Structure 1
Amino acid sequence: MSGRQLPIVLALGTTQTLAWASSYYLPAILADPIARDLGVSSNWIFGAFSGSLVISAMLGPRVGRQIDLVGGRQVRAITGITLIAGFASTVGWPLTAFGLESIGWRNTCFAWALAHILIGLPINFFVLPAVTGAKAAAAAAIKPHIPMDRTMILLAFAFAAAWSVTGAMAAHLPRILEATGATTLQAVSAGALIGPAQVAARMVEASWLSRYHPLLSTRIACLTHPIGAAIIGVLGGGVASSAFAIFHGAGNGILTIARGTLPLAIFGPQNYAYRLGIIGAPARMAQAAAPLAFGLLIDSMGSRILIVSSALSLSALLALSLLGKRSPAQ
């Protein structure tokens, strides 16, 4: 990483941590108290959260097309950004839980909004440079239509299954751990380990697993959640909550990198962002549906919901096992 990249990486890492901590990881702590105060079911809150993720899924291909037109930059810097942003749950869950106990859920949301105004907005406005790109040259390389082949379908299914688990755990992890027998303190403390586990796994991926085809790291990532669930099944939630969080976080950390590197390794850079948007759309839809769907299932299944999440992870692993190491030229 060059000296010119470092301020950008630190800036984006900070704003991404703030953004994820105050949005994606918020319902896991605040959904129940919000629902109680508003007199609605918590599943209504998770349904609204799912709706916001649906909008993100619908925008994915369009945003990808614009990135292809303008031209993406600082590709290698994404590793540094995700290393910092990997601590979003570590920062978000304890701070949100502290705010809930100290000032209530409404003021906690106001505090997060104020942080965006006082921290995020100035960083984005003053630190990040303007982006320019050669639209004509990029547009000439873009195909008008990209057909869905077997490889793209398998990738789309694998990422959809894997990211549905990620979305469910982000919204319900403390609740699921409490259902396995963990106390509230144990559940929140275990959740705080996800961030360090994500960062550690990304460092391993960057320093060692990057020597191999991304299929290897992606398959490993799909296996870690079931391993953590098996540990809870054997030892019980109270004792094994931290181990589960570490295994789940490690897999999630690698998946965040793999969803970008694996399509690039298979298809090459041409139309990369647009293709990534197409492959990622089902994943975002599944991720969007997961908070509401898992919320309904937890009501009836309790801790057995980990069987469902493990089955989804293993189905993603199965889809990846059917993929070959196709070169971009094929």
Structure 2
Amino acid sequence: MKPSPLTIGLGVSMTVGYGTLHYSFSVLAPAIARDFGWETSFVFGVFSAGLLAGAVSAPIFGRSIDRFGARPIMVLGTLAATLALGLYAVMQNAWQFAAVTFLAEFVAFAVQYDAGFAALAQRHGQEARSHVTLVTLIAGFASTVFWPLDQWLLTLMDWRDVYLVLAAVNLVFALPVHLAVPSYRPPRKEQATATGKESPKDSGTRMPMVLMAISLAAGGFLISAVSASLLVVLGAAGYSPAVATLAGSLIGPSQVLARLIEYSQRRLFTPVVTALVASGALFVSFLLLSSALVRPIIAVPMFFAVIYGAGQGLTSIVRGVLPLHYFGTAGYGQTMGILSGARMVLSAAAPVSIVFVSERAGAGVAILFLLAAAGISAGAMALLSRLPPLTREVPGS
């Protein structure tokens, strides 16, 4: 596949969407807390609660994408994200901080993977798989770009000015890409789905939708928990901060390598196989990590990070290609909205629940809790793989 300018552009805009709304928060939140005299836990608690606003907005934006196309939703989402980042720079109290955070998370769906995948599905249909993978390859560097960028900017200016820079980044780099997304006129059948006259759950897709939602939501729980609390859990399990940090640093390269392999070898296996490998890798990684409860040798968290990173990297691809494989392009935005909403609810609950379990019952119970979630994700995906798709996949897509 020759990469299209749109695909590369969406990779850049998704990098901006995740970098400015998600990864930048972890760098700037401590500075915000110090400036206002708030507990850091309060700041991150507001962010976790804000994810629930995203769970509410996801089905709404999904149906709107089916009805109006991805371009107007992504353009409006970019403008709203720019507004939210600008409002961070002028907020004065906790209520304003909470309101702006809820706004930022409410519009995140429109400028991150789900909307981007919908734009690619509307443009390329069943052949969107390779484009989805390429977008995740590019956007996988969002933390690599924005964490050091934000830290460098903080040496030059205060956090309010950094937020103004991030707002400008959305206008300069993301908005032109989203304006260039081709217009889309849905077929009559898809228009009916978008207006609620027909929905995926009413057209024979209930069981695949339920199993897919369970698997992806459980996977989202794992990814959110590890992103927020891996160092805490490994530390409680007896590993030094240096070992835990080294293990965490292996996740990113493994994620990128897995996506590269999927991109280059995609013709050799179906989206279902990719999904099974992704959920299976997550399960195996936590099964391996649980062995540290018997003997905490240094190699365990290292191998865990490599296998987990591969599973996490493939999971982002699965989010886009598996609904397309099973349900096709009709109602794709609504399908993504439903799945994203379920995933975001569990993702919001993951950090606080895992830290709570670790503090009250110990790291061992927390790891077993994560292993159970991984087992649920892999089990639901295994059941889903036994069901036939409701639309025929284009060979080599």
Q: Classify the TM-score, shorter chain.
A: 0.7 to 0.9
- Deviation (angstroms), 1:192: 3.3
Of residues 144, 152, 165 in structure 1, which corresponds to 2:197?
Answer: 144
Does the CA-based 8 Å contact 2:218-2:376 persist in structure 1? yes
Equivalent pair of 1:87/1:196 in contact (CA under 8 Å): no
Q: Which residue of 2 aligns with 1:125?
A: 175
Does the 8 A contact of 1:89 with 1:195 survive in 2?
no
Q: Residues 329 and 87 of structure 1: is their aligned pair in 2 closer, same or farther, counting only changes over 3 Å?
A: closer
User: CA-to-partner distance for each residue in 1:50-88, whole Å, 9 max, x for gaps?
Assistant: 222111111111111122123433545332221011123
Query: Does the CA-based 8 Å contact 1:160-1:287 persist in structure 2?
Result: yes
Residue 256 of structure 1: CA displacement? 0.9
Structure 2 unaligned spans of 5+: 70-121, 393-397
Paired position in structure 1 for 2:210: 153
Unaligned runs of 5+ in 1: none
Q: Which residue of 2 aligns with 1:163?
A: 220
Residue in 2 that maps onto 1:285: 345
Give the RMSD, CA atoms, in angstroms: 3.3
Match of 2:65 in 1: 67
Alignment of 1:205 onto 2:258: no
1:86 to 135, 140, 160: 140
Q: Which of 185, 194, 205 pairs up with 1:134?
A: 185
| 1:1-330 matched pairs, under 5 angstroms | 1-2=1-2, 5-6=4-5, 8-25=6-23, 42-71=40-69, 72-73=122-123, 75=128, 76-92=130-146, 103=155, 107=158, 110-111=161-162, 113-128=163-178, 129=180, 131-135=182-186, 137=188, 138-139=190-191, 142=194, 144-146=197-199, 147=201, 149-208=206-265, 211-232=268-289, 233-234=291-292, 236=296, 238-304=298-364, 305-323=366-384, 324-328=386-390
Deviation of the 1:315 alpha carbon:
0.9
Contact 2:29-2:40 at 8 Å conserved across structures: yes
1:169-217 deviation line (CA, Å, top 9, x unaligned): 1222233333334444443443333222222112222333553332322
Mapped contact 2:134–2:263 kept (Cα < 8 A)? no
Do 2:132 and 2:321's aligned partners in 1 also have CA atoms closer than 8 Å?
no
Q: Which range moved further: 17-26 or 320-329? A: 17-26
After TM superposition, the structure 1 stretch with the greater mean CA deviation from structure 2, 253-262 or 190-199, is: 190-199
Distance 1:119 1:278, change over 3 A: closer
Indicate conservation of the 8 Å contact 1:93/1:188, yes or no.
no
User: What amino acid sits opposite 1:259 in the alignment?
Assistant: R
**Alpha-carbon displacement from aligned partner over 1:237-295 (angstroms, at most 9, x marks no partner):** 75443332222221111111112222222222221221222233211211122122223
TM-score under structure 1 length normalisation: 0.82
**Contact 1:141/1:270 (<8 A) preserved:** yes
2:79 matched residue in structure 1? none
Q: Which moved more, 1:200-209 or 1:56-65?
A: 200-209
Secondary structure of the 1:205 match is helix
Quote how far apart the aligned CAs of 1:161 are: 1.1
In 2, the alpha carbon distance for the partners of 1:244 and 1:177 equals 11
Spell out, residue by residue over 1:110-129, the C-alpha distance to the aligned partner (whole angstroms, 9 max, x if none): 53x24424433211234541
CA distance change for structure 1 residues 297 and 99 in 2, over 3 Å: closer, same or farther? farther
Are the counterparts in 2 of residues 86 and 196 from structure 1 also a CA contact under 8 Å? no
Equivalent AA in structure 1 for residue 373 of structure 2: L
Letter matched to residue 184 of structure 2: G
Matched with 2:116 is: none
What percent of counterpart residues are identical?
Answer: 30
* Change over 3 Å in CA distance of 1:224–1:174 after alignment to 2: same
Check conservation: 2:211, 2:381, Cα contact below 8 A: yes
Describe the shift of the 1:89–1:19 C-alpha distance in structure 2 as closer, same or farther (beyond 3 A). Answer: same
Aligned partners of 1:30 and 1:238: how far apart in 2?
32
User: CA–CA distance in 2 between the matches of 1:49 and 1:155?
Assistant: 26
Q: How many residues align?
A: 324
Counterpart of 2:332, as a letter, is Y
- After superposition, the Cα gap between the structure-2 partners of 1:120 and 1:48, relative to the gap in structure 1 and judged at 3 Å, is same
